[in-house]
Amino acid sequence: MDLGATEGHMLVLSRKCNEQIVIGDDIIVTVVSIRGGTVRLGIEAPPHVTVHRLEVLQAIRADEAARMKDSSNNSSPPTTP
């Protein structure tokens, strides 16, 4: 395991299949499999912790921003003739 290797603000660790890292006191990330250029991770976290792939989180945030923009555009008072 490569302890303390950093690039910018990112901690970089080397792990083999079935090895784990712990984040905080209650999140465990396990390397489930490695095939070619794909690494499968298992994540154990408490129910109150949300876990998303980055591209999914970005899509969720973009959708929320679009809905907020639509609701602010639709909340203007109606015009009277």
Q: What is the pLDDT of residues 50-78, one digit of tens each?
A: 999 999 999 999 999 999 988 887 765 65
CB 54 within 8 A of CB 68: no
Single-letter amino acid, residue 26: D
CB 28 within 8 A of CB 44: yes
Residue with tokens 């899509």: 59
Neighbour-count burial of 63, counting CB atoms closer than 10 A to its CB (0-12 exposed, 13-18 middle, 19+ buried)? exposed
Q: What is the per-residue pLDDT for 1? A: 41
Q: pTM, whole model, 2 decimals?
A: 0.69
**What's the pLDDT band for 13 if we cut at 50, 70, 90?**
very high
Residues forming a β-bridge with 46: none
